[in-house]
Amino acid sequence: MNIVLLGPPGAGKGTQGERIARHFGIPKLATGDVLRAAVREGTQQGLRAKAYMDRGDLVPDEVILGIMKEALARPEAAKGVVLDGVVRTVPQAEGLERVLGELGRRVDAVLMFDVDEDELVRRISGRMVCEGCQTPYTGLDASARCAKCGGTLVRRKDDEPEAVRNRMRTYREQTAPVVEWYRRRGDGASGGADGLRGPRFITIDAAGPVEEITQRVLHELAR
């Protein structure tokens, strides 16, 4: 089961992606996590990506395609993968289709997390992440510790108001077209390169308690 998670920053893709991956016993791939790890390790890729990320801009497609290719070919991803924030431009969506196609696989479902913008801003302004294991938290103060590893909680640089505004704009300009791209294919209106119908397109109401949203997702995926 290969599942693509779409939705604006703060929609809960990370939190829900973790839960969906656990439910199906498959890994979650989040390009944001891979890039942040590269920045921490000071690799060439990390140094290149950092400036884009700090501003809230998208890193170039070829960087993302490289990450996708490597991660999807790993044996632990053979049963499927949850892709969190991995597809943010139409060329990335096309690239993913190609990479999966070469492995004899395809995207099975696309989950679009729908939340209104006021709620997104509220969530992001209260968001902290563990410096160590990157677990996200909302509504905790900076003196709290990570429940998983005891690490220090910090605010992501791109969760500062200026960068958040830019990420929202980037989402509207570059990622909203991806939503439409998948929606059309999911409707079966136009097939993929092989003429087959695209993945199922599912819109999730992503407002409300975390567990309730997970149940909505699993219910939809089981249909």
Q: Kindly list the residues in this chain that would bind ligand AMP in the complex (CB under 6 A).
A: 9, 30-32, 35, 52-53, 56-59, 64, 85-86, 88, 92, 158, 167
Nearest in space to 97 (alpha carbons), one of 196, 220, 6: 196
Q: Which is nearer to ligand AMP, 2 or 31 (CB)?
A: 31
- DSSP states along 133-198: T--EEES--TT-B-TTT-PBEE--GGGSHHHHHHHHHHIIIIIHHHHHHHHHHHTTSS--TTS---
Q: Cβ of residue 21: shortest distance to ligand AMP, in angstroms?
A: 15
Name the active-site residue from 48, 167, 183, 200.
167
The single residue of 13, 28, 123, 185 carrying the catalytic annotation is: 13
Q: Check: CB of residue 87 under 8 Å from CB of residue 6.
A: yes
Pick 74 or 219: Cβ nearer ligand AMP: 74
User: By the 8 A CB rule, do 95 and 68 touch?
Assistant: yes
Looking at the Cβ atoms of 52 and 137, the one nearer to ligand AMP is: 52
Which residue number places its CB atom closest to ligand AMP? 32
Residues belonging to the active site: 13, 88, 127, 156, 167
